[in-house]
């Protein structure tokens, strides 16, 4: 329309032909990018950074990351932006079915649903739970010894990453630092819900280094 006006065709005539009102056109001409579009652009940048750093996060966790950065948005808005840019969680997005069989578990299941132990530190159970607070969500990873029914290690974080599982495992091993690690850990089994925090590379490396099976 600006080009037509430059050629001598009045804006009024062009708007009449295109069946457009003049005032909205002049408002758009004064501010081509509205405040809402600009806010969503900033939000999209924050969501992209969070998705790049933690690709396992779904849109709800990405919304939490945006809130920590000072950009508060409803889950629906975050989902729409993520869907438009195809930023899917590496665990949550369903793909087309194929004839391939499911892969082997990350670690061999030595517990076999037999949640009993005859001695301390023979079998540990662990899981991550989410807890809402006035300042946002926090995540607790706790490790319980089956024999004593006591919590032997835990870790708290405002982000659900593999680090929270690693820290809980390290705190569980800390009281036994004076015992030879090989003597303590051979035959010790861990059972978890097999979430991303437990099957990730850092968590797996820690389990192997500590000889936990």
Residue 109 lies in a domain: no
Residue 101 lies in a domain: no
Mean pLDDT value of segment 18-37: 75
Between the ranges 22-26, 108-112, 200-204, where is the mean pLDDT highest?
A: 22-26
Same domain, 135 and 197: yes
Same domain, 80 and 134: no
160 φ, ψ to 5°?
-95, 85
Q: What is the pLDDT of residue 149?
A: 87
Residue 80 lies in a domain: yes
Q: When comparing pLDDT for 179 and 159, which is higher? A: 159
Residue 123 has pLDDT above 60, yes or no: yes
Q: What is the pLDDT of residue 117?
A: 81
3-state secondary structure of 210: coil
Same domain, 128 and 79: no
Which two tokens mark 42?
């900033």
Residue 137 lies in a domain: yes
Residue 107 lies in a domain: no
Mean pLDDT value of segment 70-91: 88
Same domain, 76 and 132: no
* Domains: count for the chain: 2
Neighbouring residues of 154: CB distance < 8 A, sequence distance ≥ 6? 140, 141, 142, 143, 168, 171
Given 85, 114, 140, the domain boundary residue is 85
197: left (phi over 0), alpha (psi -120 to 50) or beta: alpha
Same domain, 9 and 67: yes
Residue 73 lies in a domain: yes
Answer for the pair 82, 49: CB distance below 8 angstroms, yes or no. Answer: no
Answer for the pair 75, 58: CB distance below 8 angstroms, yes or no. Answer: no
Residue 183 has pLDDT above 50, yes or no: no
Residue 77 lies in a domain: yes
Domain limits at 9?
2-85
pTM of the entire structure?
0.41
Q: What is the pLDDT of residue 80?
A: 92
Q: What is the pLDDT of residue 194?
A: 46
Query: Which of the residue ranges 30-34, 67-71, 108-112 would you say has the lowest mean pLDDT?
Result: 108-112
Q: Identify the CATH number of the domain in which residue 139 sits.
A: 3.30.420.10
Strand partners, 189: 123
Residue 113 lies in a domain: no
Same domain, 80 and 139: no
Q: How many other C-beta atoms can be found within 10 angstroms of the C-beta atom of residue 63?
A: 24
Summarised one tens digit per residue, pLDDT across range 8-27 is 788 778 878 877 787 777 77
Same domain, 130 and 69: no
Q: What is the pLDDT of residue 101?
A: 58
Residue 184 has pLDDT above 60, yes or no: no
Quote the mean pLDDT of the chain: 73
């Amino acid at each position: 329309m600006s080009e037509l006006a430059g050629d001598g065709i009045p804006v009024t005539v062009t708007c009449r032909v295109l069946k457009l009102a003049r005032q909205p056109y002049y408002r758009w001409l004064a501010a081509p990018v509205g405040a809402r579009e600009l806010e969503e652009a900033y939000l999209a940048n924050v969501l992209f950074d969070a998705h790049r750093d933690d690709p396992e996060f779904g849109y709800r966790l990405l919304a939490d990351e945006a809130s920590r950065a000072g950009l508060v948005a409803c889950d629906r808005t975050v989902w729409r932006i993520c869907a438009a840019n195809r930023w899917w969680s590496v665990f949550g997005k369903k793909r087309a079915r194929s004839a391939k069989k499911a892969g082997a578990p990350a670690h061999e299941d030595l517990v076999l649903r037999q949640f009993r132990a005859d001695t301390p530190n023979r079998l540990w159970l662990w899981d991550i739970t989410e807890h809402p607070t006035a300042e946002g969500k926090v995540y607790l990873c706790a490790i319980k010894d089956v024999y004593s029914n006591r919590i032997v290690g835990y870790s708290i974080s405002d982000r659900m990453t593999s680090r929270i599982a690693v820290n809980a495992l390290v705190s569980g091993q800390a009281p036994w630092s004076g015992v030879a690690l090989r003597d303590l850990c051979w035959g010790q089994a861990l059972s978890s819900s097999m979430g991303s925090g437990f099957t990730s590379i850092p968590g797996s490396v820690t389990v192997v280094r500590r000889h936990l099976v």
